[in-house]
């Protein structure tokens, strides 16, 4: 009888240790996900700061593209005010489309393509886009790990007791991945 009591106490102890370990792992992944999102936000803010300079540089050479400049400004404004992963992803898709159109227009102006200011801005934008892609990948990897742990058994029990919720992935739409179509 005493041996059975000790076995029961040991099983309860192991279950509590597992619950503690799993809870701490869930917290660590949640914090890591929030940090990853903040890294995406930092890079997006950096891109938003570059956009007006890029637009002004292109404006000097292609003043008649006013509608495109307005579209870029509108997309930037919507992206800055977006909240939540889904809204931010949608807004970023629009920003990417308009930036690609702006850069495609720049291809039609050899003097602009040779401008040191434009080249520096384009290089900085390219670097920022790479950082955004890396931050997005890190965020999605972390969200994947968190969501997997939340949905697996028996950690699912601990997750539901701790009120952990799955997070949304930061995804871009398929049309953004393809070539840009510029219409005049």
- Per-residue model confidence as pLDDT tens digits over 130-146: 999 999 999 999 999 99
The pLDDT tens digits of the residues spanning 76-100 come to: 999 999 988 989 999 999 999 998 8
Residue 21 scores a pLDDT above 60 = yes
Instruction: Compute the mean pLDDT over every residue in the chain, rounded to the nearest whole number.
Output: 88
The Cα 114–Cα 21 span in angstroms is 58
Exposure letters 123-150 (e unless 16+ CB within 10 A, then b): ebbeebeebbeebbebbbebbeebbebb
Q: Measured between alpha carbons, how far is residue 154 from residues 28, 29, 31, 150 in Å? A: 18, 17, 21, 9
**pTM attached to this predicted model:** 0.79
């Amino acid at each position: 009888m005493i041996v059975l009591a000790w076995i029961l106490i040991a099983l309860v102890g192991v279950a509590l240790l597992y619950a503690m370990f799993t809870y701490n792992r869930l917290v660590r992944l949640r914090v890591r996900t929030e940090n990853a999102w903040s890294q995406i936000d930092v890079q997006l803010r950096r891109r938003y700061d570059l956009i007006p300079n890029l637009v002004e540089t292109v404006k000097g050479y292609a003043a008649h593209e006013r509608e495109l400049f307005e579209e870029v400004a509108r997309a930037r404004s919507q992206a800055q005010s977006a909240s939540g992963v889904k809204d931010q992803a949608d807004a970023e898709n629009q920003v990417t489309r308009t930036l690609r159109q702006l850069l495609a227009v720049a291809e039609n102006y050899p003097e602009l393509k040779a401008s040191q200011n434009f080249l520096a801005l384009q290089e900085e934008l390219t670097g920022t886009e790479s950082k955004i892609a890396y931050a997005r990948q890190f965020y999605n990897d972390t969200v994947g790990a968190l969501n997997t742990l939340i949905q697996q058994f028996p950690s699912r029990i601990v997750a539901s007791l701790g009120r952990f919720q799955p997070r949304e992935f930061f995804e871009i739409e398929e049309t953004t991945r393809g070539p840009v179509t510029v219409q005049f």
